[in-house]
Structures are given as C-alpha cells and as structure tokens.
C-alpha cells in the first residue's frame, strides 16, 4: 500500500463552526399624507411617532447585530453553560462512560500511523499490509452521554508545561504511542517533537520520553510490567526458583514517576503462569518465599503496595492518577499461537475471566486515601476482535492477538482520559460535543 493511498484513505477532519447572521431590515415609513385637512400640529405629532418607531427598530437591530452574535459565540465556544466547572464535571461523573457500545463514525481515524515516527512498525497494521479499513472507523458511545470529539488544539494547550507519565507493560507503551501520534496532528513543525535521548521506539528500552518543545511538555513511558520489584532467588530456595517478585516493594525506578502532572498505570498481561512459574519466578513478601501463593492473591498484594506508594509519594494537589484495567486478548486457544482477527467488532463477548483482574483493582482502590481514576476498559475493549495486530506486524510468521493496531482501540482509551482531565483544567466544551479554542 503506497503512502498516497494511505493518505487518500486516512484523513484527519478539522471541524469549523460558522455563525450566519440575518440582518433585520428597518421598516420604511410612509411619508405620503393622504388627508389634505391634517393640521400642522397633527402632522408634527405623526412625524414624532414615526421617528420614535424608527429609533426603536434601529436600537433592536443594533442589539441583534452586536449583542446576539456575542452571546452565540460565547455559547458555542463553551463560555456560557459549558464553562461552568461544576456543570461540566457533573456531566461526566454522572455518566458511566464504560457502559455503551461501538458505533461507526465518519471522521475516524485521528491520524496516519505511517506518518507518525513514534509508532512501532509492529503496530502499524496498514503499513504492514492490512487492506480493510473498517476497523479504523469505530468509536465508543456511552449509553447516557457523549465523549467529546478529540480537539488537538485544546489538548495541546491543556498539556502546556506539564509532564505526562505512562507506567506499565507493552500495552501501556502502545497507549503512549497513540497519544503522541494524536497530538502530533496539531503540531506544524514536526521536528519540534522528538525523543529526548534520540532513541528509536522499541520494547527493549525501559524509558522513552517524547518532548513537544513548542508547548513545553513531555510524554514519558516507563517499562514496569509488574509495578513491583523483581529480585534474585533467596538462599536455600528450591532449584525451580530462578527469581522472585518482591510484592511489598515497588519497582526500583518508581522515584522517577514522582513530580508528574498526569500519571497513568497498568499491569496485568504478565501476571500469567507462562510469564511467572514457567520461567521460575515466584512470589516473596519480606524475607518469606511464598511458593504456594496464587497469582490473584499476589496481584492484590502488589496493588496494595502500589496504592500505599501513591498515598505516600504523590502530591494529590498536583498529580492526577489513572489506573487502566486489563484489556482482553482474543487468542483462539490457551496456546496463544493462533487467532482470528475479524473484520467487524464481535458484539457478543465474554470477558468474565479477564474481569477478575479489573475487579481486584476496583476492590483495592476503593478505600485508598487518594483520588485514583480507574479506567475500566476491559468490557469496552472486549468486542474489538477486529482491532488486533494479527498477522499485520513486523514478524508475519507469528500472529499477535494481544496488541492493538494503531490507529485503534488505544486512541479511545486516551480520548476517555482527556475527556475526564478537562474537568481539572477547565477545557471548554462546545454545544455539539467538541472542545473549542478561541482563535
């Protein structure tokens, strides 16, 4: 597929709003005197009345021309009803944005992955030969509200002089790449956006940071697949123990996550036997090796360690914390070797097993003395069997039904985060559901 073909199929729609004004014509007085016997005084009174009427309509017309457009402009730019901070917050907090369905829209996707230098080759499905475009045109629609359409100018201004940090596994890195590409569509000088250490985007690097120099902010990614520390096997441990997860100690790079404005975590895909027990990794609390501890129990302890760190180390007056729940894979069986990437979303899904991690997250954070926003994307992402990488990766000999194509589902996760952040930074909403910035 050529670049020109991609550009024809993937466009970024810019919305504009115009307000037409219909001038009011002033009534023309009838100066003809059809009565020959009207006295001069009566004639003068008639002229005074007519002049008064004319003045009245001129005043009304002037008010229409100068006042009404201002009111209209203010309303549509979010400075009327939508500027009220409490009303805006109420609109989102009363709506369960994770209860809804996927609908097709005409103004997707938001960017062209082939033109974004921060997308890993393995996630650029169209660039890797995928020919159908249907998977690009779906957007999440909550039942009782609308998620505002992405407005790149508003978001760039909202993030000015801030620090955004993603922490987690490769799914977190995909979401990190998604947000950068979404924002780059609003940057004129693409060279002003760069990785701070001139690194190529790869899974092998623990830290990646992209700076938007024109807006003085960075979007960073730290690879921490378990969030807690990994240690060596204790002395006198059984031979099958090669390493341990120190469930009561957060990752040793956690000090680098502090002093951020937006902090987005995830963990889940590595909490499986194939990544743990089959590799000789078991659990440890303090000096005690927990050979019989189950994965769900260990996961809960690790999350409690994480929330304790949040309460002690993160400034709630500055930092907004998000935790994105486990997002489903769509493998054909437990061997994780084959999968069937569908052309359209599968609307009847069963994410019960994968929701167990999400339920643990909700249970742990509910009593935390810190406002943690849980992004419950498990059920939201479950229908999207059409949006996985499949065979369209950088290694066509192996399938991938864990990671997502870009553009794709991670864009929606970011749109939900941004729609919730606007209540913190008072980004206005327009009457038709899109964010607006004054020229």
**What would the mean pLDDT of 356-372 be, rounded to a whole number?**
92
- 431 in a structural domain: no
| 105 and 219 housed in the same domain | yes
Of 49, 74, 99, the position where a domain reaches its end is 74
**Residues 45 and 112 grouped into a single domain:** no
Residue 56 and residue 149 share a domain: no
Residue 287 pLDDT level (bands cut at 50, 70, 90): very high
CA distances from 48 to 26, 33, 40, 89 (A): 17, 15, 12, 55
Q: Specify if 32 maps to a domain.
A: no
Same-domain status, 53 and 146: no
Q: How confident is the model at residue 326 (pLDDT cuts 50, 70, 90)?
A: confident
- Pick from 128-137, 303-312, 354-363: least confident: 354-363
Average pLDDT over residues 216-221: 98
Q: Among 26, 53, 74, give the residue marking a domain's end.
A: 74
Backbone angles phi, psi at 110, to 5 degrees: -85, -15
Is residue 223 located within the same domain as residue 347?
A: yes
161 or 82, which is more confident? 161
Residue 27: pLDDT over 70: no
Mean pLDDT of the 379-395 span: 91
**Alpha carbon separation from 294 to 101, 273, 290, 305, 370 (Å, rounded):** 34, 10, 9, 17, 28
pLDDT at 282: 98
52 and 142 assigned to the same domain: no
Q: What pLDDT was estimated at residue 49?
A: 63
Whether residues 157 and 286 share a domain: the answer is yes
Q: Are residues 46 and 161 in the same domain?
A: no
pLDDT in tens, 38-62: 444 555 565 556 666 566 555 544 4
The rounded distance, in Å, linking the Cα atoms of 306 and 309 is: 5
CB 61 within 8 A of CB 23: yes
Give me the pLDDT at residue 83, please.
31
CATH of the domain at 113: 3.40.50.1110
* Residue 356 within any structural domain of the chain: yes
- Given 74, 94, 128, the domain boundary residue is 74
In this predicted structure, the answer to whether residue 226 has a pLDDT above a threshold of 60 is yes
Task: Give yes or no for a contact between 250 and 265, defined as CB atoms under 8 angstroms apart.
Answer: no
Residue 3 lies in a domain: no
**Do 54 and 98 fall into the same domain?**
no
Residue 271 has pLDDT above 60, yes or no: yes
* 103 and 67 in a common domain: no
**183 domain residue, yes or no:** yes
Whole-number mean pLDDT of the chain?
A: 80
Question: For residue 153, which of 193, 186, 107 has the smallest C-alpha distance?
Answer: 186
Residue 321 lies in a domain: yes
Instruction: Tell me the average pLDDT across 272-295.
Output: 96
**Domain with 319 in it:** 85-425
Asked if pLDDT for residue 265 goes beyond 60, the answer is: yes
Residue 380: CB atoms within 10 Å? 25
Owner of token pair 């499905």: 125
Mean pLDDT of the 123-128 span = 95
The total number of structural domains that make up the chain: 2
pLDDT score, position 58: 53
pLDDT above 70 covers what percent of the chain?
Answer: 72
Predicted local confidence at residue 369, as pLDDT: 92
Residues 63, 150 within the same domain: no
Q: Is residue 5 in a domain?
A: no
The half-sphere exposure of 412 on its side-chain side, counting CA atoms within 13 A, is: 30
**SS3 state of residue 177:** helix
Judgement on whether residues 49 and 175 belong to the same structural domain of the protein: no
Residue whose pair of structure tokens reads 């985060």 in the numeric block: 417
């Amino acid at each position: 597929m050529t670049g020109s073909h991609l550009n024809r199929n993937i466009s970024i729609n810019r919305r504009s709003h115009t307000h037409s004004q219909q001038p009011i014509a002033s009534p023309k007085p009838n100066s003809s005197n059809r009565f020959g016997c009207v006295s001069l005084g009566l004639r003068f009174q008639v002229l005074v009345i007519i002049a008064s009427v004319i003045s009245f309509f001129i005043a009304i017309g002037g008010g229409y021309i100068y006042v009404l457009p201002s009111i209209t402009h203010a309303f549509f730019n979010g400075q009327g009803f939508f500027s009220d901070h409490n009303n805006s917050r109420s609109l989102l907090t009363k709506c369960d944005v994770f209860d809804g369905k996927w609908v097709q829209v005409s103004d997707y996707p938001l960017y062209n992955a082939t033109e974004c230098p921060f997308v890993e080759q393995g996630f650029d499905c169209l660039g890797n030969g995928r020919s159908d475009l249907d998977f690009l045109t779906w957007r999440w629609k909550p039942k009782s509200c609308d998620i505002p359409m992405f407005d790149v100018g508003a978001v760039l201004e909202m993030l000015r002089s801030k620090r955004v940090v993603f922490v987690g596994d490769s799914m977190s890195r995909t979401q990190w790449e998604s947000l950068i590409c979404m924002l780059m569509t609003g940057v004129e000088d693409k060279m002003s956006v760069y990785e701070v250490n001139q690194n190529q985007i790869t899974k092998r690097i623990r830290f990646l940071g992209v700076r938007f120099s024109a807006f003085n902010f960075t979007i960073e990614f730290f690879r921490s697949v378990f969030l807690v520390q990994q240690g060596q096997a204790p002395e006198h441990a059984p031979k099958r123990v090669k390493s341990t997860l120190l469930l009561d100690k957060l990752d040793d790079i956690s000090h680098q996550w502090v002093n951020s404005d937006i902090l987005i975590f995830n963990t889940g895909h590595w909490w499986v036997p194939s990544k743990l027990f089959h590799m000789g990794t078991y659990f440890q609390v303090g000096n005690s090796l927990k050979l019989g501890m189950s994965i769900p129990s260990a996961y809960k302890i690790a999350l409690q360690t994480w929330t304790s760190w949040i309460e002690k180390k993160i400034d709630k007056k500055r930092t907004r914390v998000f935790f994105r729940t486990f997002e489903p894979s769509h493998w054909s069986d437990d061997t994780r070797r084959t999968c069937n990437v569908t052309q359209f979303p599968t609307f009847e899904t069963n994410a019960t097993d994968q929701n167990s991690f999400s339920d643990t997250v909700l249970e742990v954070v509910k009593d935390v003395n810190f406002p943690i926003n849980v992004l419950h994307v498990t059920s939201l992402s479950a229908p999207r069997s059409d949006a996985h990488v499949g065979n369209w990766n950088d290694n066509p000999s192996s399938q991938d039904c864990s990671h997502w194509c870009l553009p794709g589902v991670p864009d929606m996760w970011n749109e939900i985060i941004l729609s919730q952040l606007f209540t913190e930074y008072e980004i206005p909403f327009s009457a038709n559901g899109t964010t607006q910035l004054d020229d």
